[in-house]
Structure 1
Amino acid sequence: MKYRAEIDGLRALAVIPVILFHAGFEWFSGGFVGVDVFFVISGYLITTIIISEMAEGKFSMVNFYERRARRILPALFFVMAACLPFAWLWLTPSDLKDFGQSLIAVSFFSSNMLFWLESGYFDTAAELKPLLHTWSLAVEEQYYILFPIFLMLTWRLGVKWISIILSFVFLLSLGLAVLGTQYATNPQITSGTFFLLPTRGWELLVGVFAAFYLKYKTHLKSRTFNQILSLLGFSMIAYSIIVFDETTPFPSLYALIPTIGTGLLILCAVPKTIVHNLLSLKAIVGIGLISYSAYLWHQPLLAFARHRAVGDISEVLLLILCSASLVMAWLSWRFVEKPFRNKHVFSRKFIFVFSIAGMIIISAIGIYADVKNGWFDYVTTENLDITSGDIGHDEFHLYVKENYSLCSDEVILSKAPVWDGLIRCQQSSDNAPDVAIFGDSHAEHLFLGLNAESNNDYIYLIRGGDAFAGEETHQYLIDYIVNNTEIKTVIYSIYWHKKYDRYGEDVLNERLTQTLNLFSQAGKNLIIVADVPDFIFDAKFCYYVKMFNEKKHKCGISISDFQSQRRYLPMLKRIASDFGAELLDPSVLFCGDEECNMVKDRTILYRDNDHINIPASIMVGKFLTQNSSILDSD
């Protein structure tokens, strides 16, 4: 296969946005499309190699997998091995257990399936997973297993029939991607659409089609067309990187923009075009040559830094980490990738033995970390200065489901499956509720304590996202509260400072006013609950912090940091006054004169960084009941 320097340049165009996106730079909000660019490149390169050898009768599966093993596994094993001591020292047992599971999955080319089952790619917790990025390698590795077999079975049918079959597969895969991202309501389906080969395969096929075209049709002869189409392709990729963000349904029809753009560059970025000259620059080609190792290194560096920093990382440090990933990439490329790709240095037999041994050893380490619960078995509460209380989402929700009734309203139950769907609805007893708790998960975590500390009958109706009037599902829940004459009082709470930061004061004020106006016109008593502190670290970190000898860290944030989260409060006070609502602020339970702390009386009061747990809900419920003139106290 003839070397094309611009393809290495295209790899650089793919990897740099991915690194900067994972670092969190807003200008690269769509940098995740770099992975899609890689998919197209892989589809093109692998297909070119296979069909060229098949056309000459030289293709061998053993040779193919030897090349893939030399290219992929040594650097991958090296990076995973380098992660081990830092994971052991810095990760909490829960995170170390997850890391062990990812070691197993990566070793057997299935990490995309693991991360699909664990969380979404854009979830906050995802950025703390050192091996999250290997999901795309798993997709490619699964493609490497299936695609050569497909070509071997269909080669005798001829290029025409192969193209027809692949076109059908392309449309089916793209159709599934569109259905999964834009029409599915189950988050598990949406997440699977992002991570799995059946809904990503069409992107690889864009590169496959480019390979077949260039093999049998060659490049366009018109310099003008090549110039225009290559510039268009480059612009499509740049547009995706700058404009797309985590709210863009992906992969869907939107993903056609960067993938078709990549296909146009492969087909049309020929010598003497502007894009070819740009992508062939020595510095850009150099980054492309180390792009695989750069991709491997960047996520562990960023994830471990976030674990260790216990808070936001400055942009300067993020840039240093991004630069460090390139330095580590060059070292990996020079001293790991290049030697292992040299057949005169390492024989085929050595490569296969090395690959199998590496998979066994790394997966065995992962199994040990998983079975030992991330070495949680060696830790007892007595070792620590604090007790856990309840620090798990599962424990919290299980307690609610086991101790309280599902909503009795059949219309709500038919509208969305409770707990398994988007709506969560629970009530304190079989009696008709007289108080509704409405909002998002920051309303939900008030339910336990309010019910325990007052004589009211409660119902909470929440849905993830924005709890405002006008949005279809939330409007249905609002209408239910408004039309229910038994409900006399509405307690309203959302993740205030995140919504304030997202929308700004004017938009948030408008949406909040519109929502409260509906409740007020229905004659409901209104109670608005300000938010508890939002910490910059997870409750599990606080629990295990003493094991890391972080004696200066007291599981708290400064009052000044907390006040920066409270920019919404003047607006909330004004709105409460306008509607004659009670505004209750439970933050005084967590904050003193100098800091706010998630530990009180040696008990942790959170289950992550912003949701309170069972003991804290009881404490907050008592505070709200005692300070409200509307609620009936026990």
Structure 2
Amino acid sequence: MKYRAEIDGLRALAVVPVILFHAGFELFSGGFVGVDVFFVISGYLITTILIEDIENKQFSIVNFYERRARRILPALFFVMLVCIPFAWMWMLPNQMKDFSQSLVAVSLFASNILFWRESGYFDAAAEEKPLLHTWSLAVEEQYYVLFPIFLILAWRFGKNRVFWMIVVMAAVSLLLSEWGWRNKATANFYLAPTRAWELFSGSIAAFIVQKQGVQRNNLLALVGLAAIIFSIFFYDETTPFPSVYALVPVIGVVMLVLYAEKATFAAKLLSMRGIVGIGLISYSAYLWHQPLFAFARIESVSEPSLLLMAILAVSSLFLAYLSWRYIETPFRNNRGVGSAKILVYSSFGLLLFASFGFVGNKQEGFALQRYDRDYLIKTDINFLRSKRYPKLGNLNLSPTWALLGDSHADSLQEAFSKMLTQHNKSALVLTEAGCPPSLNLWRHDMDYKMRCHDNYLGAIDKIKDASIQHVLISARYALYINSTRFDNTIGGIEKGRSKEVIYDLIDYKDTLRAADERAHAIENELVSYVVKLVDEGINVYILESIPEFGWNVSEQLSASLPTNIPRSAFDERVESLQSLYRRFSNIHNVTLLSTDGFFCNEIECISTVDGIPLFYDSNHLSNFGADSLLDYFESNLMKNINE
């Protein structure tokens, strides 16, 4: 295959925005489309190689996979190996357990499936996963496994028919992604069936170039380049992805592949020496940037500064050059490392990382190997966090109660279950993490829109069907009304790409609506849902806001740092909730459960008792913290629990 310098320039255009997006530079709000650019490039290059091999009767599936192993695995293995000691030193057991799982998933080329099951791509927690970015490698590897087999089997029908088969498959995949972002947004983002059309787009371009060569068209090439740049700066986390919106950068890449002949302005721009240089090291740069950013976030009390992230972004390019020069290049040389050695090294590496990850997962993140037992009981999320159950209390009885809300309600499950069991009652669990108790509120930087709506709509039906009499609601109302991450005023700001976490109405398109107007609309929506429950004859109990701390309490304890925060910071945070609480209290059959005095005195809000955390992260009650509310629940709910 003839070398095209502009393709390496495209790689640079893909990797730099991805790095800057993950670093938190809001200017590059659509930088995640760099991954889509990579997919199209991969589809184009692989299909070109396969067509040439098949037509020259040189195709060998073994040789193809060997080339892929040479290209992908050495640098990947090296980055994974470097991550392990830092994970061992800096990660809490629950983080190390998740990291161990990701080592197994990467080794099986299934990390996209793992991360789909764990969280959304734009979650704050996802940003502390050193191997999160390998989801895209998994998608490509799954394509590499299946596409060559399809191509060699379908070739008997003729090249023209194969081309149209790919066009049809691309169209089906695109339509599936359109359905997916509306119904299964996280799966749509991570999984190969809804990403395949982007790779197929590169394959389609390969067939066209193979037939008619690269055309010279300055205008179309510049339009393609502009389409990619537009999506980088004008898309953001609220843009449904992948979907028809992804056609903009994808078609942009296809136009450059087809029309950016080396004499065009776009090709000359992309072929500039510095840009091509970044393109050559782009794979290693992509591998390095996420671990650097993730470990920086793990080690920081709050979101790292943009200056630090900029330094780490530049460092990822420096490390990329070293790994490209001393790892990628030698292993891609057949004479330096023979086929037998590649097979041995690849098999050994995959087995090594999978085994280490399997053991780490089974041993709860090597908890006992890295910490003493007493320390773990006080700080480890695996011990502190409530498990999630579909039903609480006496499971043999029909439920008369329901626990409803977001992850704050989840943190109450074990404590609430104890009380129900004691009174021989049961409750349904109708919670959904990250979702305000409402039918029409959603978080703009996450893919929760339909999941939130479906959960709370379904909750009303389940409450009706089960003849539920009482509902306990716990939710992070302070986040929903304020729509900003919490700043504790003494150095702790809740982690995340942006301080802004805007919640708004599902059908409201203008995200720049004034904050007070948005807060009022959100308040109306939260009240409306409680009214719907009361209209069904339900007695509703609402737990008022518990403190947020701005920093992870367990991480602060593990580093022997302060964990408490000023009472004034809490008071300022919940001041905006007073109108909401007044409206709740004025609704018939609604009882407010105040937490004032439990976690805060006149001076500060307390996060530990006798060294044991009341919270397992920055805002969720630990089992110990939830248990501290049991007596209060008993005195305020007992008369109704016994009904």
Cα distance change on mapping 1:392 and 1:209 into 2, 3 Å: farther
1:618 aligns with 2:630: no
Distance in 2 between residues matched to 1:459 and 1:79, nearest whole Å: 45
Aligned to 1:586: 595
2:351 to 354, 360, 371: 360
Q: Deviations over 1:94-147 (max 9, x none)?
A: 322332232222223222233233333233322221111112112212222222
Partner SS for 2:213 = coil
Cα distance change on mapping 1:508 and 1:207 into 2, 3 Å: same
Aligned-residue offset at 1:316: 1.3
Distance in 2 between residues matched to 1:238 and 1:383, nearest whole Å: 53
Q: Deviations over 1:347-396 (max 9, x none)?
A: 33333332223223333332332343322244676442863698568743
Which AA in structure 1 matches 2:258?
L
Which AA in structure 2 matches 1:256?
L
C-alpha contact (below 8 Å) 1:182/1:252 kept by paired residues = no
Q: Deviations over 1:566-590 (max 9, x none)?
A: 6552332244456765876526433
Partner SS for 1:130 = coil
1:206 aligns with 2:221: no
Q: Deviations over 1:187-241 (max 9, x none)?
A: xxx43332222222211110000010001022345xxxx2332232223223332
1:573 aligns with 2:567: no
Distance in 2 between residues matched to 1:585 and 1:621, nearest whole Å: 13
Aligned-residue offset at 1:486: 9.8
Distance in 2 between residues matched to 1:228 and 1:328, nearest whole Å: 37
Q: Deviations over 1:307-357 (max 9, x none)?
A: 122432111111111111111111111221122223333333333332223
Q: How many corresponding residue pairs?
A: 591
C-alpha contact (below 8 Å) 2:564/2:604 kept by paired residues = yes
Cα distance change on mapping 1:49 and 1:595 into 2, 3 Å: farther
Moved more, 606-615 or 311-320: 606-615
Aligned to 1:421: none
Which AA in structure 2 matches 1:306?
R
Aligned to 2:190: 195
Moved more, 29-38 or 202-211: 29-38
Aligned to 2:479: 497
Cα distance change on mapping 1:164 and 1:517 into 2, 3 Å: closer
Q: Deviations over 1:56-97 (max 9, x none)?
A: 233333433332222211111111111121112112223223
Which AA in structure 2 matches 1:324?
S
Q: Deviations over 1:235-255 (max 9, x none)?
A: 322333233333333222222
C-alpha contact (below 8 Å) 1:528/1:576 kept by paired residues = no
Partner SS for 1:148 = helix
C-alpha contact (below 8 Å) 2:437/2:529 kept by paired residues = no
C-alpha contact (below 8 Å) 1:19/1:295 kept by paired residues = yes
Aligned to 2:32: 32
1:559 to 551, 562, 566: 566
Distance in 1 between residues matched to 2:521 and 2:635, nearest whole Å: 31
Aligned to 2:103: 103
Cα distance change on mapping 1:40 and 1:529 into 2, 3 Å: same
Aligned-residue offset at 1:3: 1.6
Cα distance change on mapping 1:141 and 1:55 into 2, 3 Å: same
1:227 aligns with 2:218: yes
Aligned to 2:548: 534
Aligned to 2:519: 508
1:605 aligns with 2:614: yes
Distance in 2 between residues matched to 1:329 and 1:104, nearest whole Å: 24
Cα distance change on mapping 1:535 and 1:202 into 2, 3 Å: same
Cα distance change on mapping 1:212 and 1:624 into 2, 3 Å: same
Partner SS for 1:387 = helix
Aligned-residue offset at 1:176: 2.7
Cα distance change on mapping 1:326 and 1:407 into 2, 3 Å: farther
Cα distance change on mapping 1:588 and 1:258 into 2, 3 Å: farther
Cα distance change on mapping 1:191 and 1:353 into 2, 3 Å: same
Partner SS for 1:586 = coil
Aligned-residue offset at 1:55: 2.2
Aligned to 2:133: 133
* TM-score normalised by the chain length of structure 1: 0.81
After superposition, where does 1:297-308 map in structure 2 within 5 Å?
297-308=288-299
Moved more, 34-43 or 111-120: 111-120
Distance in 2 between residues matched to 1:485 and 1:166, nearest whole Å: 52
Cα distance change on mapping 1:288 and 1:566 into 2, 3 Å: farther
Distance in 1 between residues matched to 2:14 and 2:234, nearest whole Å: 16
Distance in 2 between residues matched to 1:373 and 1:354, nearest whole Å: 28
Aligned-residue offset at 1:19: 1.3
Cα distance change on mapping 1:70 and 1:587 into 2, 3 Å: farther
Which AA in structure 2 matches 1:34?
G
Partner SS for 2:337 = coil
Q: Deviations over 1:19-67 (max 9, x none)?
A: 1222233222322221111010001011112212322233333433332
After superposition, where does 1:299-338 map in structure 2 within 5 Å?
299-338=290-329
Partner SS for 1:396 = coil
Partner SS for 1:131 = coil
Identity percentage over the alignment?
A: 42
Aligned-residue offset at 1:609: 3.3
Partner SS for 2:391 = helix
C-alpha contact (below 8 Å) 1:48/1:211 kept by paired residues = yes
Partner SS for 1:590 = coil
C-alpha contact (below 8 Å) 1:442/1:495 kept by paired residues = no
* TM-score normalised by the chain length of structure 2: 0.80
C-alpha contact (below 8 Å) 1:491/1:529 kept by paired residues = yes
Cα distance change on mapping 1:215 and 1:619 into 2, 3 Å: same
> Any unmatched runs of 5+ in structure 2?
442-452, 484-501, 504-514
Distance in 2 between residues matched to 1:265 and 1:623, nearest whole Å: 66
Moved more, 146-155 or 322-331: 146-155
Distance in 2 between residues matched to 1:624 and 1:22, nearest whole Å: 43
Distance in 1 between residues matched to 2:342 and 2:381, nearest whole Å: 48
C-alpha contact (below 8 Å) 1:586/1:623 kept by paired residues = no
Which AA in structure 1 matches 2:615?
Y
Distance in 2 between residues matched to 1:65 and 1:405, nearest whole Å: 52
Cα distance change on mapping 1:470 and 1:213 into 2, 3 Å: closer
Distance in 1 between residues matched to 2:55 and 2:170, nearest whole Å: 23
Aligned to 2:142: 142
Which AA in structure 2 matches 1:497?
L
Aligned to 2:164: 164
Moved more, 288-297 or 268-277: 268-277
C-alpha contact (below 8 Å) 1:11/1:38 kept by paired residues = yes
C-alpha contact (below 8 Å) 1:130/1:300 kept by paired residues = yes
Which AA in structure 2 matches 1:297?
W
C-alpha contact (below 8 Å) 2:6/2:270 kept by paired residues = yes
